Amino acid sequence: MGTTKRSNATAYFESFYSYYQIYYSDYTMGLGTAYYYAALAYYYYYIAGFYADYYSYYDDAYGAKSPMYKGSSPLWDTLWDYYTTYGDYYARL
C-alpha cells in the first residue's frame, strides 16, 4: 500500500470537517437523524485525522482511514483506533 505526503493528509482530514458541517447543517434544517449520524461519523474521522496530521503520520493512498505511520507511538494507535471506532459506529447507523 502506498502513502501520500503529510500535506495531502492535511487536506484529507480537513475535508472531513467540511462534510461534518454540511451534514450537521442538513440535520438542523430538519432533514432527519441520518444526517446527524453522518455528521458525527465525519466529526470523529476529522478528529482522528487531526491526530494523524499532528503526529506527522501518513494516510494511505486510497484516502481510507488506515494510516501508515512513520516512527512508532503506542499513543497514536490508541487514539486512531478510539476515534475511528466511533466514526465507524455512527457511519453504520
Task: Please give the grid coordinates belonging to residue 37.
Answer: 449520524
pLDDT band at 45 (very low <50, low <70, confident <90, very high): confident
Q: Assess whether pLDDT exceeds 80 at residue 3.
A: no
Task: Please give the grid coordinates belonging to residue 67.
Answer: 494510516
Is the full-model pTM beyond 0.85? no
